[in-house]
Structure formats: structure tokens, C-alpha cells
Amino acid sequence: MPYILSVDDSRLIRKIMTGPIQALGYEILEASDGLECLEQLKAHAKEVELVLLDCNMPNLDGIETLKAIKADSALSHIPVMIVTTEGEREKMIGAIKAGASQYLTKPFTEDDLLTKMMECLPQESLNFG
């Protein structure tokens, strides 16, 4: 079963992600911080096809988590899309340089989220349900 992992300390944001993720034919995995994200990825590395990652979280923030994912040879192939309130150009550039595939600022529309996710996912895996 292919998954998209939604990582945000806001339970509400993770729930908002569920509809668009399922619309693309994926199941959702959730994590509330970077440490939990890394645990989920280690458990499901072969099934996770995209990580939606917030920047501002406790324990391990989004950029630190992104760097940890990209430094791990078992996880580095997984695309990561930053979804955050951080809209400053420097933050965006830093995230892309650290390995992010896309960057989406909150608040966003469902169409914006779907478009950016589709740009990150392998086209052959999209299964509109």
C-alpha cells in the first residue's frame, strides 16, 4: 500500500491533508514531529512515496528532519514537500537546497496542495480514487 506521510504538530492540519491524499489514491500516515516522522519512515521506507513536512515543530524541526531524511541512504529517495507558514524567500531557498522537492505556504487551497503533491509523486503511481 503506498503512503503519503503528513508531518505536522497540528492534528487539524494532518486531518486537512487526509482528503487530498486519499483523492490521489494514497493512504495517509501521520507524525506530530520530526522524531516521529523518522520512526514512521524507518518502519515504512518502501511504501512512503512522499513526505509533507511542516517546519515549525517541537523536538526536531522540519529542516533538521529534511536533512536527516536526505542523509539516510535508505530514505533519501523519498521526495519531501515542505508545507509551512514560513513564507520568507530565504527559508524557501534553504529548504530546496536541503533537498525539498516542493514548498507550499499555509494557508493553501486544496487545489494548490494537490498540484504540488502531483509534481512530487511518480506519475505512474497516481491512482485517482
CA max distance for the chain:
37
Domain total of the chain:
1
36: cell is 516521529
The angle, 0 to 180 degrees and rounded to 10, between the axes of the packed helices 62-71 and 34-44 is: 30
CATH of residue 77's domain is 3.40.50.2300
Instruction: Enter the pTM of the model.
Output: 0.94
* Tens digits of residue pLDDT in 17-35: 999 999 999 999 999 999 9
The domain in which residue 107 lies consists of 3-125
* Tens digits of residue pLDDT in 69-107: 999 999 999 999 999 998 899 999 999 999 999 999 999
- Cis (ω within 30 of 0) for the bond into 107? yes
47: cell is 511504501
Contact between 9 and 115 (Cβ < 8 Å): no
